[in-house]
Amino acid sequence: MTVHFKQDEPDNSNRLDGMKQGVIGKPLPRIEGLAKVTGTAPYAAEYPIENCAEGVLVTSTITRGEVTSIDRTSVLSMPGVIAVVDDEKLCTRAAQGTANEAPMQGPAQVCYWGQPIALVIAETFEQARDAAKHLKVEYREDAGAPIDPGAVEPEEQEDETVHQGDLSHAMAEAAHSVDVTYTTKGHASAAMEPHAAIAQWDGDKLTVHASLQMLNYNITELADALDMEEENMRLISRFVGGGFGSKLGISEEVVAAALAAKQIGRPVRVVQSRQQVFQTVMRRSETTQRLRLAADENGKLTGFGHEALVSNLPGETFAEPVLQSSHFMYGGENRELMLNVARIHRMTAGSVRAPGEAVGMPALEGAMDVLAEKAGIDPVELRLRNIPEQDPEEDLPFSSHKLAECLTQGAKAFGWDKGPRKPRQRREGEWWIGTGMANAARVHNIAEAKARVTLKADGTALVETDMTDIGTGTYTILAQIAAEMLGLGPEQVLVELGDTRYPRGPGSGGSWGAASIGSAVYIACKAIREELAARLGTSEEELELRESKTAGGEALTDLLGGKDLAREGHYEPGDIEDDYTASGFGAFFAEVRVNHYTGETRVDRMLGAFGFGRVLNAKTARSQCIGGITWSIGVALTEALEFDPRDGHLVNCDLAEYHVPVHRDVPDLQVLLVEERDGAASPIQAKGIGELGMCGGAAAIANAIYNACGARLFDYPMTPDRVLAAIPD
Amino acid sequence: MRPFQYSRAPSLAEASNLTADENALAIAGGTNLLDLMKLQVETPDQLADINRLGFADIEDTDEGGLRLGSLATNTETAVHPRVRADYPVLSRAILAGATQQLRNKATNGGNLCQRTRCFYFTNIDQPCNKREPGSGCGAIDGIAKLHAILGTSEQCIATYPGDMAVALSALGAEVQISGDKGERSVPVRDFHLLPGDTPWIENVLEPGEIITGIVLPAPVGSTQIYRKVRERSSYAFALVSVAAIIELTDGKFSRADFAFGGLAHKPWFDPRFGEALIGQPPSEALFDKAADVLLEDARGYGENDFKIPLTRRTLRAVLAQATEDAA
Ligand SMILES: Cc1cc2nc3c(=O)[nH]c(=O)nc-3n(C[C@H](O)[C@H](O)[C@H](O)COP(=O)(O)OP(=O)(O)OC[C@H]3O[C@@H](n4cnc5c(N)ncnc54)[C@H](O)[C@@H]3O)c2cc1C
Ligand code: SF4
């Protein structure tokens, strides 16, 4: 039995708070944690499948043009080689998140250097890899493909454009104004587990083990790519070794494995090499962002301008949503917002860790620091003065807004010094030391979700959904929600995820997983409670369950009478999506040291205070925040994709040369969870967490660099060469 | 990965034999070689595993120095009590490289022979004179932030990426080599070569020659500094590194052995740099003057222009640290 709930109104009943089991919000360790760290949790490529052949993708060595011939004989006689696949259904790009249709197909048309064009299948991985390197391919090259985003006429993303009032006038009249341009380099998701798939056919039925974030969409994408019915397909992603956006849509290896397995009549495994993951999946676009801020003498914004240039391949709809939070972060009645996309032939740009705010907020919050300095106002105070009453563009209320609390509590916990801020005040030996802060914002996303909860006759519970856990803690929080609602210990709840045989969840992405699927589980549990209450002749609201018993001491197993009780919860966000502007908010504080001689920057300490609705598990929530802050250190200091200026290929395509922060770059991070209940965000009053932790943090570091050594930088990442170029002597 | 023959060399003579062929390579820790083989940058037909040859000891020499076996690991070397006490610059240089896991596996001989991290060298679908003579240099006019500013050629601007050898160069260590023509000893300062017209020849090893050890001279009681500038605080190659062995007598430099990493196709040792310092009291002006000599012929390739000022400033940092350490 399915219970459908479409949420049109905020739910401020806070029912989870009234339950008696007392496990919701508790810092429980991740259920699957031990299996993962002991290597017993199987990842996509690790399923032992008999008679499985190995496929390796062949990638293009031109930027744009056409594959005119592939000489199979060049590899078919090599040891172990079984076949070459160049089926026109092969995908040449990964699908964008929630695309719900096949990504670009037709491997003969080359659109970027490194694009998959064929697959070689052999008995062993090494044989396939060797043969893939030896496959003779001829091309007709289309020279002169543009690869520099600054060198083409960009396209305007009209739905992002805002013209309100007269910004130029406001700038001219302003007591204080800022007009600065920031740049950010491209980023890679850099998940540990490479993209991998094993495909198996049984007649016309296909099973694929893959590393994917959103099975609900992925199955449609795969069905579309293969031109078959979803009913004949099963996708399995029980454990995902990180996705960070790169596994939102299906990527090339999934379709290639399916086609190859069909062609040779054997299971086929395709694992992308680290270099291929970097070069073929998704990049975050580089950005150029102009910020214009006009303020009165009190620092209150009267004008707000944010214009950004990003890039993508021809034919892609995705444009890094740089302005996402800029639309509502600050007031200012005179507004100019515009997002432009340059069509260039670098690999696909798509969702990478907090698309939009991850790079938009660092630029905006850097500019706010410049304004604070110009206006002579403490940066925390400036932010406090500019919290808008409601969405400044949409005439909508905020679902909730904890920014002021985050700012004041964060400043206090960090020991923010409200004194006058002048750069170059503290020096220890070779090191300049300084502090900086920035706001955090990340839109709250929510999606339709289904989950089945079964209260088993033996008194345990089973939660089933095709939702994935990409390392965030989904298994654990779903067990906690069900346990809380049904009065069980979390260890009595078995959570089964990542299999399309189960009811369709929303998938993991855009930080929407917990609130969306958590709501579906909540609805299912509530329906079970209703049935139990009916059996007891009471109401669901009155029903008290704890430690597998009712308040009256009746055992759940007795109530069940030897039978399972199952309900499917179906959550759908209704009018709440349109009636409110919903976002997570927060504040970052950082102390850094900058080496006077070498320009090296190290983060000494960092604190993030975040308000994102209900905390479902204090430990996994904190871990999400720590991960986010760590990424913001990467944005600030180290991460940069480098593209060859001639053919546009990605050059630094491994984890040695693409610099994510290492342990030594990450100090002890402090996280303040500023608890709130946001009934307009979801019926469990929770919002998204994961990404918020990286949306703005880089600016806290950049602003601290300025405060430390006087180098005001406008280009991320702030590597030693850039710091040195800007540091006063 | 291309198919290859693997044999475990039972003796030094056999190791020489096995690696005498042009398409044969020795394998020690494999931390560099295997990565390059997977990428088909290295495509040996024959691998001679030298791990059972011994050469793993670290022992005192009659001259009061220390002999490091070529098969001793980087970790064993860095933590050796005498290395830490008498050659701290070496210990620090090793510990500034790679990660603990890599250093546990990496050997001293392999470390000397590690290959450049040039992005075009490691991508076989790009031009590279070092990998494929005559194909061109992808890095010139490409992404060349890590590349050399000294001793470059029209053919190649790659750097030698290692840290350990920079310290060894400053220390004036010698490389012991054994081959079918017998044994020989080569100063570390002469071991690596500049690219010139033959960038694929990186050091003086002839086919069939195996490094058996590294000999450190008797220690000089002095200030030793290893300074590595990098984009993240660990697990990154040097933008610029400086190994310095300094002695002050009566407030003046009586020893100033400096070697530099990240600047050239080899650890860079320029005797004129030390000469400019000897007999003078330390000062920023003096270091700047010595840097002028060092960087006289330096040439940036756009993206790596910053290495010129960075080298100067890093030297000032070394000076500041030296004066601090001495005080
Ligand atoms: C991700 C990463 C980061 C790194 N970072 C750093 C760093 O920051 N600083 C740094 O200095 N190094 C760094 N390294 C390099 C590392 O130090 C080397 O890979 C290692 O020292 C090589 O030693 P090995 O024994 O594994 O050599 P192998 O990989 O076995 O061999 C390397 C080469 O040396 C030859 N060879 C090995 N032993 C001998 C011998 N006895 N005689 C003759 N030839 C021999 C081999 O034929 C081969 O050509 C890094 C490596 C990696 C993978
Ligand atoms: S710099 Fe040297 S290693 Fe790099 S591409 Fe040029 S020739 Fe090859």
Cα–Cα distance, A222 to A228 (Å, whole number): 8
Query: A287-444+582-726: same fold as A44-62+64-144+189-281?
Result: yes
SS3 A713: coil
Whether B32 and chain A come into contact, CB under 8 Å, resolves to no
Whether A148 and chain B come into contact, CB under 8 Å, resolves to no
| Residues flanking ligand 1, CB < 6 Å | A 656; B 25-33, 35, 50, 70, 74, 97-98, 102, 105-107, 109-111, 113-114, 162-164, 205, 210-211, 237
Mean residue pLDDT across chain B: 96
**Cα A83 from chain centre:** 37
- Closest atom, ligand 1, to C-alpha of B33: 29
Q: Which of B105, B66, B106, B72 is nearest to B88 (CA)?
A: B66
Q: Are B109 and B211 in contact (CB under 8 A)?
A: yes
Give the model confidence (pLDDT) of B197-209 as tens digits: 999 999 999 999 9
Cα–Cα distance, A684 to B22 (Å, whole number): 69
Non-local (6+) Cβ contacts of A264 within 8 A are: A53, A82, A83, A121
SS3 B244: strand
Instruction: Please work out whether the CB of residue B120 comes within 6 Å of at least one atom of ligand 2.
Output: yes
Q: Which of A688, A696, A596 is nearest to A322 (CA)?
A: A696
**Cα A268 from chain centre:** 29
Give the model confidence (pLDDT) of A209-225 as tens digits: 999 999 999 999 999 99
Specify whether A691 is catalytic.
Answer: yes
* Per-residue confidence band for B327, with pLDDT thresholds at 50, 70 and 90: low
pTM for this one?
Answer: 0.98
Joined together, the tokens standing for residue A344 give 């260039």
Cα–Cα distance, A122 to A350 (Å, whole number): 32
Write out the DSSP string of A82-107: EEEE--TT-BSSPPPTT--S---B-T
- Closest atom, ligand 2, to C-alpha of B137: 6
Q: Which residue spans within chain B are E strands per DSSP?
A: 5-8, 24-27, 46-49, 58-60, 66-69, 174-179, 182-187, 210-216, 223-229, 240-249, 252-261
- Fold of the CATH domain A2-30+446-578: Aldehyde Oxidoreductase; domain 4 (3.30.365)
A1, exposed or middle or buried, with CB in 10 Å at 0-12, 13-18, 19+?
exposed
Q: What is the pLDDT of residue A419?
A: 78
Q: What is the pLDDT of residue A243?
A: 96
A129, A596, A664 member nearest B1 (Cβ): A129
Joined together, the tokens standing for residue A631 give 């990424």
* Per-residue confidence band for B323, with pLDDT thresholds at 50, 70 and 90: confident
Instruction: Please work out whether the CB of residue B118 comes within 6 Å of at least one atom of ligand 2.
Output: yes
| Centre of ligand 1 from the C-alpha of residue B66, in Å | 21
Give the model confidence (pLDDT) of B281-320 as tens digits: 999 999 999 999 999 999 999 999 999 999 999 999 998 8
CB atoms within 10 A of CB A538: 15
Q: Are A457 and A564 in contact (CB under 8 A)?
A: yes
What is the H or E stretch that residue A181 is in? strand A176-184
- Is a pLDDT exceeding 70 seen at residue B146? yes
Cα–Cα distance, A214 to B109 (Å, whole number): 48
* Per-residue confidence band for B326, with pLDDT thresholds at 50, 70 and 90: low
Q: Whose alpha carbon is nearest atom 11 of ligand 1?
A: B162
A643, A664, A719 member nearest B233 (Cβ): A664
Cα–Cα distance, A364 to A386 (Å, whole number): 13
CB atoms within 10 A of CB A264: 15
Task: Name the minimum distance, in Å, from the CA of B230 to any CA of chain A.
Answer: 7
How far, in Å, are A146, A646, A647, A648, B222 from residue A142 at the CA level?
11, 13, 11, 14, 62
- The CA-CA-CA angle for residues B286, B291, B292, to 5°, reads 100
Q: Where are the domains of chain B?
A: 223-326
Q: What is the pLDDT of residue A430?
A: 94
Q: Which of A581, A614, A580, A587 is nearest to A405 (CA)?
A: A587
Whether B145 and chain A come into contact, CB under 8 Å, resolves to yes
Higher pLDDT, A15 or B326: A15
Per cent of chain A over pLDDT 90 is 98
Higher pLDDT, B181 or A86: A86
Q: What is the pLDDT of residue A420?
A: 80
- Fold of the CATH domain B223-326: Enolase-like; domain 1 (3.30.390)
- Is a pLDDT exceeding 80 seen at residue A415? yes
- CB–CB of B126 and A649 under 8 A? yes
Give the model confidence (pLDDT) of A497-556 as tens digits: 999 999 999 999 989 999 999 999 999 999 999 999 999 999 999 999 999 999 999 999
Cα R_g (chain B), whole angstroms: 19
Give the model confidence (pLDDT) of A138-184 as tens digits: 999 999 999 999 999 999 999 999 999 999 999 999 999 999 999 99
Q: Which of B6, B16, B18, B31 to mutate to test the pocket of ligand 1 (most atoms within 8 A of CB)?
A: B31
Whether A663 and chain B come into contact, CB under 8 Å, resolves to yes
Whether A136 and chain B come into contact, CB under 8 Å, resolves to no
B123, B145, B314 member nearest A598 (Cβ): B314
SS3 B128: strand
Write out the DSSP string of B277-324: HTTS---HHHHHHHHHHHTTT----STTTTHHHHHHHHHHHHHHHHHH
- CATH code of the domain made up of A287-444+582-726: 3.30.365.10
CB atoms within 10 A of CB B236: 21
- CB–CB of A649 and B123 under 8 A? yes
Give the model confidence (pLDDT) of B72-127 as tens digits: 999 999 999 999 999 999 999 999 999 999 999 999 999 999 999 999 999 999 99
What is the H or E stretch that residue A342 is in? strand A334-343
Question: Looking at A510-514, A627-631, B191-195, which range is the least confident one?
Answer: A510-514
Backbone φ, ψ for residue B68 (5° rounding) = -100, 120
- CB–CB of B317 and A595 under 8 A? yes
Q: Where are the domains of chain A?
A: 2-30+446-578, 44-62+64-144+189-281, 287-444+582-726
| Centre of ligand 2 from the C-alpha of residue B194, in Å | 12
Looking at beta carbons, which residues of chain A come within 8 Å of B232? 637-638, 659, 661-662, 664-665
Instruction: Please work out whether the CB of residue B137 comes within 6 Å of at least one atom of ligand 2.
Output: yes
Cα–Cα distance, A9 to A210 (Å, whole number): 38
Q: What is the pLDDT of residue B2?
A: 86
- Is a pLDDT exceeding 60 seen at residue A715? yes
Joined together, the tokens standing for residue B3 give 């198919």
- CATH code of the domain made up of A44-62+64-144+189-281: 3.30.365.10
Cα–Cα distance, A723 to A342 (Å, whole number): 28
SS3 of A259-326: the string is HHHHHHCCCEEEECCHHHHHHHCCEECCEEEEEEEEECCCCCEEEEEEEEEEEECCCCCCCCCCCCCH
Q: What is the pLDDT of residue B320?
A: 86
Q: Are A295 and A301 in contact (CB under 8 A)?
A: yes
Looking at beta carbons, which residues of chain A come within 8 Å of B1? 126, 129-130
* Per-residue confidence band for A418, with pLDDT thresholds at 50, 70 and 90: confident
**Ligand showing the shortest atom-to-Cα distance for residue A644:** 2
| Centre of ligand 1 from the C-alpha of residue B106, in Å | 6
Q: What is the pLDDT of residue A194?
A: 97
SS3 A710: coil
Most distant CA pair in chain A, distance: 81
Sign of CA dihedral A235, A479, A631, A688: positive
State the count of interchain CB pairs (< 8 A) between A and B: 98
CB atoms within 10 A of CB A491: 11
Q: Which of A282, A270, A199, A226 is nearest to A91 (CA)?
A: A226
